[in-house]
């Protein structure tokens, strides 16, 4: 009887052991499948990263190649120091400072509008607005960034400029001031949204500590929250600067595309981007010096944008707070 019992127990344990082994085999198979899927996803993500890198490398290669051909005909010193920009005239001059002055002037006007208003809106949405108000105003504000820039350009030309001419009758029809003001309105969502996100990331314990010390909500917002979120706010400002420097259609429509060396926003001016549009839509032969100017100007624009991006990265690293 004992031997039969042992035999029966062995027969009963056998299927259970096989079932356990089959389960382990199934788990191993699922693990292999999961690893393969993760490998495929990793390769897809890596490919996407390489596409970005190769695209950037291709842009840099084209700019450098065409710019070197341009600088083989135009001395670099003349390009940097000449006070005239007339590359399409018979008496050609290639002073990039003319386009840089227009770019800097328009960007300065835009940032004088976008940075103060964007910061005030961010403080209100982060520290004072209720939940429903925030959830209503923020999407409406971000809709401004979805409006095509050509519409902003005609808004500046047909509405803002006549409005400014009522205040200053001598203002010409094409000017940097109206274009810069509308650019500032367009950039506000970038500054306000990123700044508000940075402020909301500040721990509530800092606010509560400030309230416990007797500070008002405004004092807490200005003296505690804003300094604690300075890294993110500065990054928002740098993004706004890069957006202003790279803007094209508003300036092409409303600023006049007239290359004048100066920083007077009441006059028409040409910027780097508006000049690129002007030449790209023309009929200059490929490979001519006039055609190659757009690549030299584009290289300057890329270096300028790269500088601001590196500045933003440095600011984030220097003023980043760890909680």
List the domain boundaries for the chain. Answer: 1-72, 77-319
Match 């050509």 to its residue by tokens. 150
Mean pLDDT of 318-323: 68
Taking only the tens place, the pLDDT of each residue in 173-224 is 999 999 999 999 999 999 999 999 999 988 998 898 999 998 899 999 999 9
Q: How far is CA 263 from CA 155, 175, 227, in A?
A: 23, 11, 33
Residues of the chain above pLDDT 70, percent: 93
The per-residue DSSP string of 133-186 comes to HHHHHHHHHHGGGGS-HHHHHHHIIIIIHHHHHHH-TT--SS-HHHHHHHHHHH
Asked if 249 contacts 177 with a C-beta cutoff of 8 angstroms, the reply is: no
Mean pLDDT of the chain: 87
- Whole-angstrom distance, CA of residue 8 vs CA of residue 305: 81
SS3 184: helix
pLDDT tens digits, 17-74: 557 677 878 788 888 888 888 989 999 999 988 998 999 899 999 999 989 999 998 8
Q: Does the structure show a pLDDT above 90 at 114?
A: yes
177 close to 171: Cβ distance less than 8 angstroms:
yes
Helix (H, G, I), strand (E, B) or coil at 82: coil
Note the Cα 106 to chain centre separation in Å: 17
* Both tokens assigned to 16: 């259970």
pLDDT of 322 higher than 70? no
> What pLDDT score does 140 carry?
86
CATH class of this structure's domain 77-319: mainly alpha
Is residue 118 classed exposed, middle or buried when 0-12, 13-18 and 19+ CB atoms within 10 A define those classes?
A: buried
- Asked if residue 12 has pLDDT above 60, the reply is no
The pLDDT of residue 1 is 45
Question: Which residue shows structure tokens 């690549």?
Answer: 295
pLDDT per position as a tens digit, 229-245: 888 898 899 989 989 99
Mean of the pLDDT values across residues 8-24? Answer: 59
Q: How many CA atoms lie within 13 A of 94 on its CB side?
A: 22
pLDDT value of residue 15: 52
Question: Rounded to two decimals, what is the model's pTM?
Answer: 0.82
């Amino acid at each position: 009887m004992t031997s039969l019992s042992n035999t029966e127990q062995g027969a009963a344990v056998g299927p259970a052991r096989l079932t356990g082994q089959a389960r382990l085999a199934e788990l191993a198979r699922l693990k292999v499948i999961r690893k393969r899927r993760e490998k495929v996803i990793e390769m897809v993500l890596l490919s996407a990263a390489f596409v970005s890198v190769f695209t950037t490398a291709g842009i840099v290669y084209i700019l450098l190649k065409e710019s070197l051909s341009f600088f083989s005909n135009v001395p670099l010193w003349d390009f940097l120091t000449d006070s005239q920009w007339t590359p399409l005239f018979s008496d050609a001059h290639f002073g990039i400072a003319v386009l840089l002055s227009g770019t800097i002037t328009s960007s300065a006007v835009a940032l004088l509008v976008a940075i103060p208003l964007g910061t005030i809106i961010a403080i209100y949405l982060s520290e004072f607005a209720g939940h429903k108000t925030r959830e209503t105003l923020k999407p409406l504000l971000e809709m401004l960034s979805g409006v095509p820039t050509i519409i902003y350009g005609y808004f500046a030309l047909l509405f803002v400029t006549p409005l400014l001419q009522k205040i200053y009758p001598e203002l010409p029809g094409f000017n940097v001031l109206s274009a810069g003001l509308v650019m500032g309105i367009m950039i506000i969502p970038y500054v306000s949204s990123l700044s508000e996100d940075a402020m909301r990331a500040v721990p509530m314990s800092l606010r509560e500590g400030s309230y416990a010390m007797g500070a008002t909500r405004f004092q807490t917002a200005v003296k505690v929250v804003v300094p604690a979120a300075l890294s993110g706010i500065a990054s928002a400002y740098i993004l706004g600067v890069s957006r202003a420097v790279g803007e094209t259609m508003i300036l092409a429509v409303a600023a006049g595309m007239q290359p004048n060396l100066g920083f007077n926003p009441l006059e028409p001016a040409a910027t780097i981007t508006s000049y690129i549009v002007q030449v790209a839509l023309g009929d200059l032969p490929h490979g001519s010096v006039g055609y190659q100017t757009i690549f030299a100007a584009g290289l300057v624009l890329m270096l300028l944008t790269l500088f601001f991006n590196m500045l933003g990265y440095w600011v984030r690293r220097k003023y980043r707070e760890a909680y």
